[in-house]
């Protein structure tokens, strides 16, 4: 996020740019700012219920505490007065993290692009230096389901030149380890 906003936008995939522009024109974004915005917490849980997905924050009290502590941000997107999607961004000093989003996906509308890009821009305005989109599954891997590939394809569209890493996970018996 330390680069120029125009360069950030330039590095976004062409289709994503179009979806961001559509969202900017058609979606109204509302970000949780205080306890007066508790209805946005309800939107988060209602969208999970509608889409039959399990919320990452299963305790509304804990979600509210994190919002109040400013360790996360919650932004809801409305289309024609109807709640359509929510994005949650984690905040830790100079770093921000795309934690989750939920949307109704009705009519094929691109409901996540503008809220995510807007979250990136809002973080940039507050001098947050890094925006981590999270784990991206390799493009060609046999044992990852289609949904994870779609999420990874979505995330890849927000950056160019992302670095690829190979991660090894080694199981270790820490009870016998000496430090």
Give me the sheet containing 72-79, strands edge to edge: 28-31, 72-79, 82-92, 95-103, 130-132
Radius of gyration over every alpha carbon of the chain, rounded to an integer in angstroms: 18
84's enclosing H/E stretch is strand 82-92
The pLDDT score that the predictor gives to residue 81 is 87
pTM more than 0.85: no
| C-alpha span between 49 and 97 (Å, rounded) | 24
Q: What is the pLDDT along the chain (179 residues), one digit of tens a residue?
A: 999 999 999 999 999 999 999 999 999 999 998 877 789 999 999 999 998 988 888 899 999 999 999 999 999 999 888 899 999 999 999 999 999 898 887 766 788 899 999 999 999 999 999 998 887 766 665 555 677 777 877 888 888 766 555 655 666 666 665 55
The pLDDT value recorded for residue 160 is 73
Angle, alpha carbons 9-166-154 (nearest 5°): 30
Q: According to the model, what pLDDT value does residue 29 have? A: 94
Question: According to the model, what pLDDT value does residue 142 have?
Answer: 55
pLDDT of residue 9: 93
pLDDT of residue 105: 73
Output the pLDDT for position 27.
93
Residue that has been written with the tokens 């330390």 in this structure: 2
Neighbours of 2 (CB within 10 A): 10
Confidence at residue 141, expressed as pLDDT on a 0 to 100 scale: 56
Q: Write down the pLDDT at residue 41.
A: 92
pLDDT number for residue 168: 59
């Amino acid at each position: 996020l330390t680069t120029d906003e125009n360069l950030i936008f330039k590095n976004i995939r062409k289709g994503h740019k179009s979806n961001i522009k559509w969202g900017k024109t058609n979606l109204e974004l509302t970000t949780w700012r205080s306890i007066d915005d508790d209805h946005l917490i309800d939107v988060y849980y209602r969208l999970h219920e509608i889409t039959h997905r399990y919320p990452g924050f299963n305790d509304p009290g804990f979600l509210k505490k994190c919002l109040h502590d400013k360790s996360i941000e919650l932004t809801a997107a409305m289309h024609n007065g109807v709640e359509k999607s929510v994005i949650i961004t984690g905040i830790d000093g100079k770093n921000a993290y795309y934690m989750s989003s939920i949307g109704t996906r009705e009519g094929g509308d691109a409901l996540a692009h503008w809220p995510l890009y807007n979250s990136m821009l809002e973080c940039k305005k507050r001098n947050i230096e890094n925006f981590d989109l999270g784990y991206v599954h390799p493009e060609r891997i046999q044992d990852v389901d289609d949904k994870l590939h779609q999420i990874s394809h979505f995330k890849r569209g927000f950056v160019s030149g992302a670095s690829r890493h190979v991660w090894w996970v080694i199981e270790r018996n820490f009870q016998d380890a000496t430090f």
